[in-house]
Structure 1
Amino acid sequence: MTNKLYYTDPFIYQWKTEITASENKNGTWEITLKDTAFYPEGGGQPCDLGTIDGIEVLAVRKEQDEVIHILNEKPNRTLVNCSLNKERRIEHTQHHSGQHLLSAVCVELYDIGTVSFHLSNDTATIDLNTPSLSRQQLLNIEARVNDYIYENRKINVFYINTNEASKYALRKVPSGHEQLRIVQIEGIEYNACGGTHVQTTSQIGLLKLMKTEKHRGHVRLFFSCGMRLLKDYSKKNEWVSSIANRLSSPPEKLPEKIEKLLSDNKEASQKYNALFEELSYEIAQKLLSEQEDGPFISTIFDQYSIKELEIIARNITNQSDKTVVFASTLENKILLLHNGTSPLHCGQIIKNHAAAFSGKGGGDAKKAQAFFSDIEQLKQFIEFVTTNLVQAEKIE
């Protein structure tokens, strides 16, 4: 049976030990060690990663009392040097202890229990047994959690027999165990848990509630703490500083500055739309006069979006029964549109023929769009439509 160092000391990151067994399974090696600090995935906490004699550990899992380490190759020696990814372990340990404290405070303040805990490389969440949380509740929870962190309360780990569980205020007693591993935050809670934990609440670092989402009738609460929170703050501080420099504004004035920019942009957009309506009419008139013959008005535009091309096309179809075939090289898209008097089914044209030119899209009888990854094939598709499909695709 593996000696599990992560239970006795979560701050061991390097050690020497012996390989006790190895087996090749489906191209990877499953290794067991006499002693391991690699935590296997469980209880919402991901597994540790690192190296065994310089060989990358891909995953770690538990099988009964053994810890299985998955590697791409077998170490050459029996006595090996092991090394944990220290940053990953610390982040997981901080967040697991942070989750215990956060869940305890939700019960303390509002009698709201935790349904589940999820921890990944990017996020940490708890699902709470409540349909909603107010902004004030979130502020109160966050403040109380950080008060307990500042108080530097001890986090103790000890073992009890299952028949002793009633002596402790455990919210859940795991079944199928003769012994229980208890994690106690002094003066706050007892919890049966097999994860790695810090030694005092201050080692969790600051804890920040990030956002909430509704999830299957519960509230999913996202949080971050410790080293991961510092990295998140540093990244966002760089973004804020960069934006502030670009806008020549102190950071505290950014909300006001951005609101003004949005307002100015909305006003400019309204003016542009009004001017483009006038321009689109002139472009439509010009195209109608230049392409009087045939059932199509067809043009490739380099400067307009497909949304703008639809405005021009509507001006054309309001004045004629022609089918418009427009393309935007800005977006590598085409637009087929008519006023309903044409026998052509725009959507069926796209469905039946665009794929042959590496295009994809859809639409209905009177309007359809398609995207092409290659501009030359887009042009070939337009030529195909305007030369071969005058009566080919009838409206059903």
Structure 2
Amino acid sequence: MPAGTTVRLSADIKRRTEFMRFHTGEHMLSHAVLTLFRIKNVGFHMNEEFATADFEAPLTLEMQLEAENFVMNGIYDAKPVTCFTVSSGEADGLTLRKRSEKIKGDVRVVVIDGGDMGACCGLHVTDTAKVVMLKIIKSESLRGGTRLYFICGAKAYKDYSAKHESVMRMNELFPGGGDLIEKAEKLIAEERKTKIMLAERSSKLISQIAEKIISETKDKKFYVYDDSMTESEAKQLLNLLIAEKAAFAAVFFPTSGRINYILGAGSGCKLNCGYIIQSINAYFNGKGGGPALFARGSAPQSGDFNAACTGFCDIFEKITRN
């Protein structure tokens, strides 16, 4: 492009305004955390969806909510946001929340009336009311401190609207009024109690199944398959079946289109589970392995689970006889 060419530039004002809200919101949030808890901001980043502010020490949920409320009060007050430029020497005489040591020349200072003052080259709204809203949406530990994820303006309102809709739908699921959190906690407690009860009943049933299998099998080689069995139930059953020193057992259960098999041998059993499972894998294109007394593997399931397991058991029997 030749020198002197006239060009026309345009900015996406809506996008820029959202970034200005994020940037001003970061000033207000950092000022709030410093004022309330004497904890400094050590990093800031923003993108199209959210902004992050990093702080040098841990911030509990209660501290985050207090800081957020502090910021919202500042937004309600509609304080002017201004900027001015001073020399490096003049900047030394100002009480700045932040200033990079890399700045050697003039320093641009951004001031929120009655609040934050810091060196910054970014764009900001002209008064705090234009931030509209600031909402902390997530926090995580970071190098001994805390990273806060937050949103401002239209994005904060959109986030609030979506979450409010979720709460309204939850109210429909839990009619009759009352605190939703208490209702959810009660439901979780009831579910936990039910799981414990079902686990106890499942354990009792597995014990009964093991007793029946042992009583009906003379040679102490057990092959068991059940398409409704879970992995934990299969392990429990296996351990019960190989309680006798000379026993050997193979238990099959399905997951995600594969047949899983776990093998176990009593301490006095001469069969080697690791060797057997490698032979089975070779027959059925399976994967897995293990030592002499315990091994596990899986292979692709083709067709009916029970029919496939019958084929597996036939091969097991041939291998163990040899």
The TM tier, using the shorter chain, reads 0.7 to 0.9
Cα distance in 2 between the residues matched to 1:290 and 1:178:
91
Deviations 1:162-206 (A, max 9, x none): 444235333213525644333221222322223332221111122
**Equivalences for 1:270-289 in 2 at 5 Å?**
270-288=196-214
1:315, distance to aligned residue in structure 2 (A): 2.6
Residues 177 and 98 from structure 1, CA distance in 2 versus in 1: closer, same or farther, beyond 3 angstroms? same
> What SS class does the counterpart of residue 184 from structure 1 fall into?
strand
1:267 equivalenced with 2:193 (yes/no): yes
Does residue 220 in structure 1 map to residue 220 in structure 2? Answer: no
For 2:2 and 2:275, the matched residues in 1 are separated by 65
Distance verdict in 2 for CA 1:135–1:256, change over 3 Å? closer
Residue identity matched to 1:263: A
Letter paired with 2:229:
Y
Kept in 2, the 8 Å contact 1:174–1:192? The answer is no
Q: Determine which structure has greater relative contact order: mean sequence separation of CA pairs < 8 Å that are 6+ residues apart, divided by chain length.
A: 2
Higher alpha-carbon deviation: 151-160 or 98-107: 151-160
Asked whether the 8 Å contact 1:334–1:371 carries over to 2, the reply is yes
Deviation of the 1:288 alpha carbon: 4.3
> Contact between 1:98 and 1:204, CA under 8 Å: does it hold in 2?
yes
Tell me what 1:101 maps to. Answer: 28
Distance 1:375 1:177, change over 3 A: farther
What corresponds to 1:344 in structure 2?
Answer: 272
Greater helix fraction, Structure 1 or Structure 2: 2
Structure 1: any 5+ residue segments left out of the alignment?
A: 1-18, 22-32, 37-81
1:304 partnered with 2:229: yes
Shift of 1:135: 5.1
Question: Structure 2 vs 1, CA of residues 217 and 167 (structure 1 numbering), >3 Å: closer, same or farther?
Answer: same
Asked whether the 8 Å contact 1:288–1:316 carries over to 2, the reply is yes
Identity between Structure 1 and Structure 2 (%)? 27
Secondary structure (helix, strand or coil) at the match of 2:223 reads: strand
1:390 aligns with 2:317: no
2:110/2:120 contact within 8 Å kept = yes
- Distance in 2 between residues matched to 1:196 and 1:367, nearest whole Å: 65
CA contact (8 A) 2:23 2:124 kept: yes
Structure 2: unaligned runs, 5 residues or longer:
none
Q: 1:222-242: CA deviations, max 9, x gaps?
A: 333322222222222232233
| Aligned residue among 27, 32, 37 for 1:110 | 37
Q: Structure 1 residue 118: deviation in Å? A: 2.9
| Range with greater deviation from structure 2 (381-390 or 162-171) | 381-390
TM-score (norm 2): 0.77
Count matched residues: 312
In structure 2, the partner of 1:195 is 122
Alpha-carbon distance in structure 2 between the residues aligned to 1:345 and 1:85: 69
Q: How high is the TM-score relative to the length of structure 1?
A: 0.64
CA spacing shift, 1:329–1:210, aligned 2, 3 Å = closer
1:86-97 mapped onto 2 (5 Å cutoff): 86=14, 88-97=15-24
- C-alpha separation between the residues in 2 aligned to 1:365 and 1:92? 63
Amino acid at match of 1:238: E
Structure 2 residue 168 is matched with structure 1 residue 241: yes
CA contact (8 A) 1:351 1:362 kept: no
Q: After TM superposition, list the pairs within 5 Å mapping 1:29-40 onto structure 2.
A: none
**1:338 aligned counterpart, secondary structure:** strand
- Flag the 1:353–1:302 CA change in 2: closer, same or farther, 3 A: closer
Structure ranking higher in strand proportion: 1
TM-aligned CA distance change 1:118 to 1:388, over 3 Å = farther
Aligned twin of 2:77: 151
Aligned-residue offset at 1:116: 0.8
3-state SS in 1 of match to 2:320: coil
Structure 2 partner of 1:357:
285
